Amino acid sequence: MSAFPNSPVDPRTFFEETIPALFAEWVPEERERGVDVKLGVVLHSAVDDEGGDWTLHFTAGELHVLAGRATDCDLTIVQSVSDWRSAIWEGRPALIADGVAALTKSGPAGLRPPGGEAGEGNPEALKQLSDLEGLIEAVIAGDPDPADVKDGGRVDWRIGVQFGTGPIRDSPDATIQLGTGQAEAIRSGDLHPVEALITGQLRLEGDLGLIIQLQAIAMMAAPRPSPSG
């Protein structure tokens, strides 16, 4: 299996060289071969030429990476280069760390949801994401950093996901906010997202209907538990 870079590389190298090399050795399951999804990635930076945008097209069990975001992407990740780099190589936030660790250890196969039968789940449900329309931003509040004077010494981690085709929206339609401790507790299973919402540890703002629709599709895409015995 191609080696995942242990230290940060620039976005262009990551998306145009590292990711294709990892997927070149990937053996898709039968149901995964029927998936046809376009994922856009838009990374922005104040540093000239550091950011960029790409289209990752999963079709017929293969991945094709194109420079530039196609306007017909089913969903698009929007993020700063610094937050993207933090997620990939610094393990922040905790909710993302497990997925990155699985990709590092096992390649694309490590991203398959655990606990289901081989080939189970509903990959076709991913296509329904393109029927949604809107931009959701997740904000995980960082721990106070006395060396940083912005936001009272706190550095937040952000990621936006736009569902549906067309240009990137200027502002999010819905926002999900939680703290670093709450993100870690949800990751470990000590805190259920519903409990976090009821107790005010997780805040939702904007178009809540969009978030509810996303949750319904995520449940459809989840694998069925393997039968016991």
List the pLDDT tens digit at each of the 229 positions of the chain: 567 888 999 999 999 999 998 888 788 888 778 788 899 999 999 887 789 999 999 898 889 999 999 999 988 999 999 999 998 898 877 667 777 777 766 667 666 655 444 444 555 566 677 788 999 999 998 765 555 545 455 578 999 999 988 999 999 999 999 988 888 888 888 988 889 889 999 999 999 899 888 877 777 666 555 555 4
User: Is 229 within the bounds of a domain?
Assistant: no
Q: Structural domain tally of the chain?
A: 1
Cα–Cα distance measured from residue 66 to residue 20, given in angstroms and rounded to the nearest whole number: 10
User: Is 129 within the bounds of a domain?
Assistant: yes
User: Is 191 within the bounds of a domain?
Assistant: yes
User: Is 226 within the bounds of a domain?
Assistant: no
Query: What pLDDT does 17 receive?
Result: 94
User: Is 3 within the bounds of a domain?
Assistant: no
User: Is 147 within the bounds of a domain?
Assistant: yes
Range of the domain at 90: 11-221
User: Is 2 within the bounds of a domain?
Assistant: no
Measured CA angle at 22 (ends 18, 25), to 5 deg: 145
User: Is 6 within the bounds of a domain?
Assistant: no
